[in-house]
Structure 1
Amino acid sequence: MDNQLDLIESIAPEMIDVFLRRFDILRNIGLMSPVGRRMLADRLHLTERVLRSETENLRKQGLISSSQAGMSLTEEGRRVVNGLDDLANQLLGLNSQEKQLAQRLGIDKCLIVRGDSSDDSNVMKQLGSVLNETLAKMLPEGNNTIVAMGGSTMAIVAKELTPVLSDKRTLMFVPGRGGIGASVAKQANSVCSTMAARTGGQSKSLYIPEQLSKDTYHPLLNEPSVKAVLELIASGNVAIHGIGRADDMARRREVDSATKEMLREQKAVGEVFGCFYDKEGQIVYRVSRIGLQLEDAQKFNHVVAIASGHDKADAIQAYMNFAPKQTVLITDEGAANVILKK
């Protein structure tokens, strides 16, 4: 396939250029819809005249529709974008980059979406679409228990899951932890509820504070409602989680000033499963919590980590020093480029 593409480019380089330009237009309409021509032209760095010509061709082919609110993909347009995504990635060299990144990080697989979420929040939607495609290939038929963590990234990607995941499957989404801070929408309970609603599955909730004192921690383990969720976590076949920057997570977890200072002194770069770690992947601080523990993640058949943006590159790379080897990382070019250049 690679050789064939090289041959095509040698005799008709403009064909590949046109394909990539039109695919990029379709992909961005899908992410931004409904979107006006001027905003889309600015996003793609195209003149309005060029964009008008391209979108008119795409409209005639039945791939986009227009309304007063702006342009949107048709059902056929969505089918085309999903079907050609792998080819576009190959033409852009992302497939090769994915293999390099997985080898560099020492994990099972990496999937890279175009863009940098540190500069463009729309990239997060692409992460969600890739998660949906990954789960569609990963989940076996029958009963599946999916343990999902909370966080900003998880709250966004949860909205991109679709009912296709419930085809010949019964899905149960279980929170890997209790609440965190004041933002209910980012809590694992809410993420699981959204995933269940989007896919036609079911969800459970873990109604406990995430951060607990040692005196409170052990008695709660014997509460029937808590035990039931913990048993589901233990029987899960897929875990999905984000990766946070240490400074962001210390603020969100509302840790005290002494702990924040300790994390700075220890040069913590990231946080996952309640564990703060440095650049070498050494854990420097652990939050007392009920739910999915770092050690538990090793037992899952599949682990999907979702994190992106150039500002998370250090946190992603350091975590992979102790991440489960069966981890599939879904990230973007922003993070991948930083890691591969080191």
Structure 2
Amino acid sequence: MYSQEEMIRVSKMYYEMQYTQKEISEKLPYSRATISRILDTAYKQGIVEVKVNYPIDFVQSMEEKIKEKYALKKVFVLPVYVDDELLILNDVGRAAAKYLHEICCDNTILGISWGTTLAHVIPHLIPKKVNDMKIVQLNGGIAKNSISTGAAQILEKFSETFSTGYYMLPVPTIVDSEMIAQVITSDSSIEETINIGKKSNIAIFGIGSVHFNNILYKGGFFKEGAYEELISKRAVGDICSRYFKEDGTLADVELNKRTIGLQLEDLQQKEYSIAVASGKSKAESVIGALNGGYVNVLFIDEVLAAEILNENNTRGKYSESG
């Protein structure tokens, strides 16, 4: 619609020379409405980039307190200036994507889960070419109904970002019986993928909360009454489709035996076990994951951080509080 020359000229006048849209319209043969559309197009085409720099001093104390309280390697707390759930999640996802760009290197094995949170990391991934890198799916990603988990798309995007292939788990994450799970995981390709996941030095995942909007519930993985039973067992969250209580222990041993993918204890051995979460409602879930020792790098927003640090909501490590 507009030439690159037009967009650059108008953008430089508006952003660098500080002319108003009215002043630009007086100097160029465009109406104010056209100036506005040119600026919008320039932004969408990447000619103009808008960057908001946040002062971070006031969240650093939160980071240090959480890091010390749960003996973590690194904590990133993102400031919240606009109370918008998607905007906050995007900020957290952007920070996690930047960190991945920094730590992924030659011979890295990167394990990834799937879900709403990981989907908000995807748009911010920064291309990086590394040698002999492997990307592996940590838990089965096929739903039992028409709901899409988005697992394949997330895996493919990570693969494109790092210019490497990937190992997929093309199976349901939760099956009907332990015997079915054993049969599926005895398949050579599935077994190989799970073993590569165990060997991954970096794992990145979201932390799911236990509510009826959860993708595992909506994906048809629970028979009638089973999810309510899980709630009654005091499950507070899941990582890689494995449910835990607030003290970090498994919420349902039988369910865990029917779950396909990385075990929670495998996360305790990772060089980088990266959890990404946002929103006050995730506090109990994140606390359970931290108490279980399944996370050593944490990306959250300041509202969630404040809730985690609230002594009315958590006593820290259960081993310390009895």
Same fold, TM-score > 0.5, yes or no: yes
**Match in the other structure for 1:138:** 103
Q: 1:262 aligns with which of 229, 250, 270?
A: 229
Equivalent residues of 1:269, 1:314 under 8 A apart: yes
DSSP 3-state at the match of 2:101 = helix
**Match in the other structure for 1:171:** 133
Query: For 1:192 and 1:205, how far apart are their aligned partners in 2?
Result: 8
**Match in the other structure for 2:181:** 217
> Which residues in structure 2 correspond to 1:32-47 (within 5 Å)?
none
TM-score by length of 1: 0.70
DSSP 3-state at the match of 1:178 = coil
More moved, 293-302 vs 275-284: 275-284
Which 5+ residue runs of structure 2 have no aligned equivalent? 1-11, 19-34, 312-322
Structure 1 280/233 Cα, relative in aligned 2: closer, same or farther at 3 Å? closer
Which 5+ residue runs of structure 1 have no aligned equivalent? 1-54
Structure 1: 4+ residue segments shifted above 6 A: none
Equivalent residues of 1:220, 1:226 under 8 A apart: yes
TM-score by length of 2: 0.74
**Match in the other structure for 2:318:** none
2:124 alignment partner AA: E
Residues 1:317 and 2:274 aligned together: no
Equivalent residues of 2:148, 2:219 under 8 A apart: no
Residues 1:154 and 2:118 aligned together: yes
Cα shift at 1:197: 1.9
Structure 1 234/318 Cα, relative in aligned 2: closer, same or farther at 3 Å? closer
**Match in the other structure for 1:306:** 276
If each structure's strand is expressed as a fraction of its own residues, which one has the higher value? 1
Cα shift at 1:69: 6.9
DSSP 3-state at the match of 2:278 = coil
1:216 alignment partner AA: I
Query: For 1:310 and 1:75, how far apart are their aligned partners in 2?
Result: 36
2:304 alignment partner AA: A
Cα shift at 1:315: 0.9
Cα shift at 1:262: 2.0
Query: For 1:118 and 1:227, how far apart are their aligned partners in 2?
Result: 44
Number of residue pairs aligned between Structure 1 and Structure 2: 275
2:134 alignment partner AA: M
Equivalent residues of 1:177, 1:188 under 8 A apart: no
Equivalent residues of 2:173, 2:241 under 8 A apart: no
Structure 1 232/126 Cα, relative in aligned 2: closer, same or farther at 3 Å? same
**Match in the other structure for 1:111:** 76
Residues 1:233 and 2:200 aligned together: no
Q: 2:238 aligns with which of 267, 271, 284?
A: 271
Structure 1 305/183 Cα, relative in aligned 2: closer, same or farther at 3 Å? farther
**Match in the other structure for 1:204:** 167
Q: 1:120 aligns with which of 63, 81, 85?
A: 85
Equivalent residues of 2:111, 2:138 under 8 A apart: yes
Cα shift at 1:263: 2.5
DSSP 3-state at the match of 1:284 = coil
Structure 1 59/293 Cα, relative in aligned 2: closer, same or farther at 3 Å? farther
User: Aligned-pair RMSD on alpha carbons?
Assistant: 3.1
Matched residues, percent identical?
22
Alignment deviations for residues 186-218 of structure 1 (CA, whole Å, 9 cap, x no partner): 343331111112343322222222222222222
Q: Highest Rg: 1 or 2?
A: 2
If each structure's helix is expressed as a fraction of its own residues, which one has the higher value? 1
Alignment deviations for residues 282-331 of structure 1 (CA, whole Å, 9 cap, x no partner): 32223412221112112221110011101111111122101236x10111
**Match in the other structure for 1:280:** 247
1:196 alignment partner AA: S
